[in-house]
Amino acid sequence: MIDWRLYLVTSGDGPATVRAAAAAAAAGAGVVQVRAKHLLAGDLLELVLDVASAVADSAPGTRVLVNDRADVAHAARRRGAPVHGVHLGQADLPVAEARALLGADALVGLTAGTLEHVREAEARTGAHRPDYLGSGPLRPTPTKDVGRPPVGLAGYPLRVAATQLPVIAIGDVTLADVAPLSRTGIAGVAVVREVMGAADPGAAAAACLSAWLR
């Protein structure tokens, strides 16, 4: 059973990133996605190995995913690292191809920013069906230029109603958003700055989890 309520997406690539990921996992983040768009595959693999090892040491139940790169997730798993899958964007490798590479047990997430994306994902079956959807942005965020209108709080109940898949809200999610978002039916919130930018990432993660209303 995956605890989706707090899903950390990392930033940066050094020891502070690894420490923040481990602290958030120890505080109860159920998923950690290693996201480092500036790294080429070899360096991303090294970061993934470091994060996966640190997260497994502090919170063995936390799932570790790789942003975009099913090949890097596969390489990490071949090295024996506790890496559970990949988060794919709409233009990345198809979900079924990622599953073919990573194996049937892999966790494969998909970005579904629009209601149409959510409906399209919901219609999928078998290996083509993702395990969860990341949907946003809640609001515009400096972390990523998403290039589509924000979902807003009112947009999430529509997305949740359109799918049986867990929906994860992302994009400028702050501690103050967690309680109202938790009432929309989403499975979890994904954050970068709220935890990675905090002086104490573990405390920031714990605060987000405490704010959940159900």
Ligand X SMILES: Cc1ncsc1CCOP(=O)(O)O
Residue with smaller CB distance to ligand X, 24 or 191? 191
Does residue 93 bind Mg ion (CB under 5 A)?
A: no
Q: Which residues contact 61 (CB under 8 A, 6 or more apart)?
A: 3, 30
Per CB under 6 A, which region of 15-23, 56-64, 120-128, 167-175 contacts ligand X?
167-175
Does residue 118 bind ligand X (CB under 6 A)?
A: no
Does residue 201 bind ligand X (CB under 6 A)?
A: no
Does residue 153 bind ligand X (CB under 6 A)?
A: no
Residue with smaller CB distance to ligand X, 53 or 141? 141
Per CB under 5 A, which region of 11-19, 68-76, 160-168, 189-197 contacts Mg ion?
68-76
At 168 the three-state DSSP class reads strand
Nearest to 120 by CA among 90, 99, 150: 90
Rounded Cα gap, residues 76 and 74, in angstroms: 5
> Could you tell me if 159 and 116 are in contact, meaning their C-beta atoms sit under 8 angstroms apart?
no
Q: Out of 15, 89, 149, 152, which residue is the one contacting Mg ion (CB under 5 A)?
A: 89
The pairing of strands 6-9 and 31-34 is parallel
Does residue 170 bind ligand X (CB under 6 A)?
A: yes
Q: Is the peptide bond before 137 cis (omega within 30 degrees of 0)?
A: yes
Rounded Cα gap, residues 51 and 22, in angstroms: 7
Q: Out of 130, 136, 201, 202, which residue is the one contacting ligand X (CB under 6 A)?
A: 136
Contact set with ligand X (CB under 6 A):
9, 136-137, 141, 143-144, 146, 170-173, 191-194
Contact set with Mg ion (CB under 5 A):
68, 89
